[in-house]
Structure 1
Amino acid sequence: MFIGHGLLAFALVAFVVSRLPADTPTATRRRAFALGLLAGVFATLPDVDMLYAPVGLLWADGGPLALAEGFWSASTVVHRSVTHSLVVGVVAAVGFALWTRGGASKLLAVVVLGGLVAVSGTTSGLLGGLVMGAFVLGGLLVGTLAARRGVDAGAVFVTALVGLLSHPFGDLLTGEPPRLLYPFETVLVAERVTLSLDPTLHLLGAMLVELGTFWLAALVYLHLSDHEVRDYVDPTVALGLPSGGVALAVPAPTLSLSYPFVLTLLGVGLACGILVGGVDRYRARERHRPLTMALTALATVTLAVFVYLGAYLVT
Structure 2
Amino acid sequence: MFVGHATAAFGAVALLALFAGVSRRRAAALAVTAGLFAAVPDVDMAYALVGLVGVDPTQPLSAANSFWGASTVVHRGVTHSLAVALPAAAAFALAPTRRRTAAGVLAALVAVVFAVSGPVAAAVAALFAAFGWMFARFGHAVGVRGRSLLAVAAVGLASHPFGDLLTGEPPALLYPLDVVVFGDTVVLSADPTLHLLGAFGVELAAIWLGVLGALAIADLQVREFVDYRAAAGAAYALAVVAVPAPTLDTSYQFVFSVLAVGTVGVTPKPTAPRTLPGLPSAAITGLAAVTVAGVAYAVAYAAGVA
TM-score normalised to structure 2 length: 0.94
Q: Which residue of 1 aligns with 2:267?
A: 275
Q: Which amino acid aligns with 2:16?
A: V
Q: Offset at 1:244?
A: 2.9
Mapped pair 1:90 → 2:106: no
Aligned to 2:185: 192
- Alignment partner for residue 35 of structure 1, among 30, 51, 55? 30
Residues 149 and 240 of structure 1: CA distance in aligned 2, closer, same or farther (over 3 Å): same
CA distance in 2, matches of 1:21, 1:233: 28
Instruction: Measure, in 2, the Cα distance between the counterparts of 1:82 and 1:250.
Output: 37
The alignment partner of 1:83 has SS state of: helix
Deviation by residue 1:51-101 (Cα, 9 ceiling, x = unmatched)? 01011122546722221111111001000001000010001001001112x
Deviation for aligned residue 1:40: 0.3
**Residue 54 of structure 1 contacts residue 74 of structure 1 at CA under 8 Å; is this kept in 2?**
yes
Q: What does residue range 26-175 of structure 1 map to in structure 2 within 5 Å?
A: 28-60=23-55, 63-100=59-96, 102=97, 105-175=98-168
C-alpha deviation, 1:119, in angstroms: 1.0
1:296 counterpart = 2:276: no
Match in the other structure for 1:212: 205
Tell me the alpha carbon deviations over residues 32-59 of structure 1, each in whole angstroms, 9 at most, x when there is no partner: 1110110000000000000010111225
Distance 1:282 1:208, change over 3 A: farther
Whether 1:308 and 2:297 are equivalent positions in the alignment is: yes
SS class of match (2:78): coil
Q: 1:281 to 1:219 in 2, by over 3 A?
A: farther
The residue that corresponds to 1:25 in the other structure is: none
CA-to-partner distance for each residue in 1:242-282, whole Å, 9 max, x for gaps? 1231353011100000010110011121x212215998599
Q: Distance in 1 between matches of 2:126 and 2:110?
A: 6
SS in structure 1 at match of 2:194: helix
- Structure 2 unmatched runs, 5+: none
Q: Deviations over 1:194-248 (max 9, x none)?
A: 0001100000000001101111221222223222211101211121011231353
TM-score (norm 1): 0.91
Counterpart CA distance in 1 for 2:112 and 2:231 is 53
Paired position in structure 1 for 2:4: 4
Q: Which runs of 4+ in 1 moved over 6 A?
A: none
- For residue 131 of structure 2, what is the amino acid of its counterpart? G
Q: Are the aligned partners of 1:59 and 1:70 in contact in 2 as well (CA < 8 Å)?
A: no
Out of 241-250 and 72-81, give the one that drifted further. 241-250
Runs of 5+ consecutive residues of structure 1 not aligned to the other structure: 23-27
Change in 2 beyond 3 A, CA 1:148/1:226: closer
Q: Deviations over 1:138-196 (max 9, x none)?
A: 01111112222222121111000000000000000000100000011111111110000
Paired residue total: 303
Quick check: 2:230–2:265 contact (8 Å CA) kept in 1?
Answer: no
Supply the distance in 1 between the matched residues of 2:280 and 2:160 (Cα, whole angstroms): 25
Whether contact under 8 Å (1:44, 1:163) holds in the other structure is yes
Mapped partners of 1:278, 1:42: distance in 2: 42
Counting only pairs closer than 5 Å after superposition, residues 219-238 of structure 1 correspond to structure 2 as 219-238=212-231
* Superposition RMSD in Å: 2.0
